């Protein structure tokens, strides 16, 4: 079972996620981080930035990217990652990759991205948000639980949700390239964050629902080391919320762990 922590707000969640990253980087200065875009991880990056850690050797792999946007478009995930993560944290941009960013043919970009992750020794800690469709990365409902980095078609609901970043929904790409669910499961640790009522159904499906392609986030139940950080609103449909609160309030602090 994932460790589920119901926090006061996004700030507290960001601090806990940043604690996990800080612990990792102190032990392994060239750690490999799995980077998520979206509004959810922003408090994590900000909290981490405030700690003054040297993150210049940290390597990063983004989860996903739109297909069809110019690289320099302000809403390409490459631009978003550079602006919201690399600049904020002081990462070395040369050590941060986004799917399809190597200039090679798009049809084989997934394979090359997988090879690059493997060559880096795999992802140590993957930060995840979750979409209202239950997607993680851009793995929409129906994605194979064993899927690898590949091109996908975005769900209509995801395009609607992401239209806020564009001047009209017509500008939101219809396709993306995303790490697969099988790829994400190979990260050594997963930290999933979600805030707000709009995420409550997806969170309940991911944490407590059956493991099913209909809620791609439910694949986290197959991973042995998952931390889920949710606010009260996002936790509002969790059947076992009282237990999660009890377990967190009585957590066993083990020295050195």
* Chain positions contacting ligand GLP, by CB under 6 A: 36-40, 63-64, 129-131, 137-138, 158, 162
> With respect to ligand GLP, which residue has the nearer C-beta, 29 or 198?
198
Closest distance to ligand GLP from the beta carbon of 18 (Å): 16
Closest distance to ligand GLP from the beta carbon of 165 (Å): 9
> With respect to ligand GLP, which residue has the nearer C-beta, 57 or 156?
156
Sorted by sequence, the CB contacts under 8 Å of residue 108 that are 6+ apart come out as none
Among 209, 153, 193, 151, which Cα is nearest to 40's?
Answer: 193
> What count of Cα atoms within 13 Å lies in the side-chain half-sphere of residue 200?
13
Task: Supply angle C-alpha 177, 183, 184, rounded to 5.
Answer: 95
Closest distance to ligand GLP from the beta carbon of 61 (Å): 13
> With respect to ligand GLP, which residue has the nearer C-beta, 100 or 129?
129
Among 58, 52, 49, which Cα is nearest to 87's?
Answer: 49
CB atoms within 10 A of CB 8: 9
E-assigned strand segments in the chain = 3-7, 32-35, 59-62, 64-67, 96-97, 125-128, 150-153, 175-178, 189-194, 226-231
> With respect to ligand GLP, which residue has the nearer C-beta, 64 or 114?
64
Helix (H, G, I), strand (E, B) or coil at 75: coil
Closest distance to ligand GLP from the beta carbon of 37 (Å): 5
Closest distance to ligand GLP from the beta carbon of 252 (Å): 30
> With respect to ligand GLP, which residue has the nearer C-beta, 140 or 257?
140
């Amino acid at each position: 079972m994932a460790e589920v922590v119901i926090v006061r707000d996004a700030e507290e969640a960001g601090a806990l996620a940043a604690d996990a990253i800080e612990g990792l980087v102190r032990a392994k200065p060239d750690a490999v981080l799995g980077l998520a875009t979206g509004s959810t991880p922003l408090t994590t990056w900000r909290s981490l930035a405030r700690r003054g850690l040297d993150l210049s050797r940290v390597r990063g792999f983004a989860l996903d990217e739109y297909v069809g946007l110019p690289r320099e478009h302000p809403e390409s995930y490459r631009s978003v990652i550079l602006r919201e993560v690399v600049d904020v944290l002081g990462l070395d941009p040369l050590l941060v990759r986004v799917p399809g960013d190597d200039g090679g043919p798009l049809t084989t970009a997934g394979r090359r991205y997988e090879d690059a992750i493997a060559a880096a020794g795999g992802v140590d800690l993957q930060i995840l948000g979750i979409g209202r469709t239950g997607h993680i990365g851009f793995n929409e409902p129906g994605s194979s639980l064993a899927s690898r980095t590949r091109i996908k078609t975005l769900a209509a609901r995801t395009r609607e949700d992401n239209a806020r970043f564009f001047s009209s929904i017509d500008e939101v790409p219809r396709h993306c390239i995303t790490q697969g669910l099988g790829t994400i499961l190979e990260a050594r640790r997963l930290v999933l964050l979600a805030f707000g009522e709009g995420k409550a159904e997806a969170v309940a499906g991911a944490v407590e629902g059956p493991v099913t392609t209909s809620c791609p986030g439910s694949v986290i139940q197959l991973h042995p080391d998952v931390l889920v950080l949710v606010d009260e609103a996002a936790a509002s449909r969790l059947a076992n919320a009282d237990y999660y609160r009890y377990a967190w309030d009585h957590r066993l602090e083990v020295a050195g762990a």
